[in-house]
Amino acid sequence: MEYHDHRLAGAAPEPKNTMKEIITISKEDYLKAILEAESEGQTVISSTLAHWLSVSPPAVTMALKRLKRDGYVEVKGDGIVRLTPKGKETAYHTARRHHLIERMLSEMFSMDWYRVHDEAERLEHAVSPAFEAKLIERLGEKGLCPHGNSILPESPEQLKKRGLVPLFEATLDVNYTVSCLHERDPKLLAFLHHSGIGPNARVKVIERNYDETVTIQTPSGTITLGRPAAEKVWVKRRKR
Ligand SMILES: [Zn+2]
C-alpha cells in the first residue's frame, strides 16, 4: 500500500524478524482514527493523532500533507482535521474490516477481548475483498465486536439512545453492566483490563470524588478510576 509509513518516517522496511516491534501506520489507520474521534464528538488536531497512533508529530504532519493532497482530509485555518466524503468512505470500509476481524478473532478463535484490537489493526490491511465477503457470510454484519461496539463507530448520542451512560456519569449505588469500551487506545484497554473492567463486567459506582475520580465496585474488588478512563466506559443499568 502506497501510504505505509514506518514509525520512523523515511525508514527502510525492516527485516521480518524485527517487524514485531514496529507498527505500520497506514493511510487507513489515520482515516479510521479520525472517523472514530469525530463520532465521539472530539475535534482532531495533529497532536492528538500523534498521541493516539503513537507516531511522532513530524510523521503525522507528513501523513496529513499526503492525505490532504489526495483528497481524504481537509485541514482549515483552525487546524482541525476533517474527513472529506472520500476520506469517510475509506474510513468506513476500514472500520468495517476491523470489526469483522475482531469478531473473527474473538468468536472463532476465542482471543481475549483486550488483545483483539491490536491484532485486528495488523490483519485488517491484509484482508482481500473475497475473504471479507467470507467473513460477512460467516459472522453477519449486525453483531457487536468484543468491545461491545457496532460495525461503525457510534456517537455519544447514539449510545445514549441505546440506553447507555458513561461510567463516569453513572448513578451512585446502582448496579450496571459494562456494555462497550472505547477501543482506539490500546493503553486504555490494557489499563481497564488490569483494573478488572471489561465487557459485561458488573460494576457499581460507590463514590464520586472531589478530584474527578470515581470509586467503583467491580467483581475483582474496589478500584478508583479517573475521569479520562471512566468516561470511555459505557454502562447499562441492570434490572436488579
Ligand atoms: Zn472492537
Give me the residue spans of the domains in the chain: 1-147, 156-237
Distance from the alpha carbon of residue 143 to the mean position of ligand 1, in angstroms: 11
Distance from the alpha carbon of residue 200 to the mean position of ligand 1, in angstroms: 14
Distance from the alpha carbon of residue 34 to the mean position of ligand 1, in angstroms: 16
The x, y and z cell numbers of residue 158, run together, are: 447514539
* pLDDT of res. 113: 92
User: Is 60 exceeded by the pLDDT of residue 12?
Assistant: no
Q: Which residues pair with 74 in a beta bridge?
A: 82
How much is the average pLDDT of 59-73? 93
Please provide the average confidence, as pLDDT, over all residues in the chain.
Answer: 86
The Cα–Cα gap between 132 and 126 comes to 10
The pTM for the full model equals 0.79
Distance from the alpha carbon of residue 46 to the mean position of ligand 1, in angstroms: 24
Q: What kind of fold does domain 1-147 have according to CATH?
A: Arc Repressor Mutant, subunit A (1.10.10)
Distance from the alpha carbon of residue 148 to the mean position of ligand 1, in angstroms: 7
Mapping DSSP to helix (H, G, I), strand (E, B) and coil, where does residue 55 land? coil
Q: 213 φ, ψ to 5°? A: -110, 160
Give exposure, 145-157, as e/b (b: 16+ Cβ within 10 Å): bbbbbbbebbeee
Q: What kind of fold does domain 156-237 have according to CATH?
A: SH3 type barrels. (2.30.30)
pLDDT bin (cut points 50, 70, 90) of residue 153 is confident
Distance from the alpha carbon of residue 102 to the mean position of ligand 1, in angstroms: 6
Distance from the alpha carbon of residue 103 to the mean position of ligand 1, in angstroms: 8
Length of the chain: 240
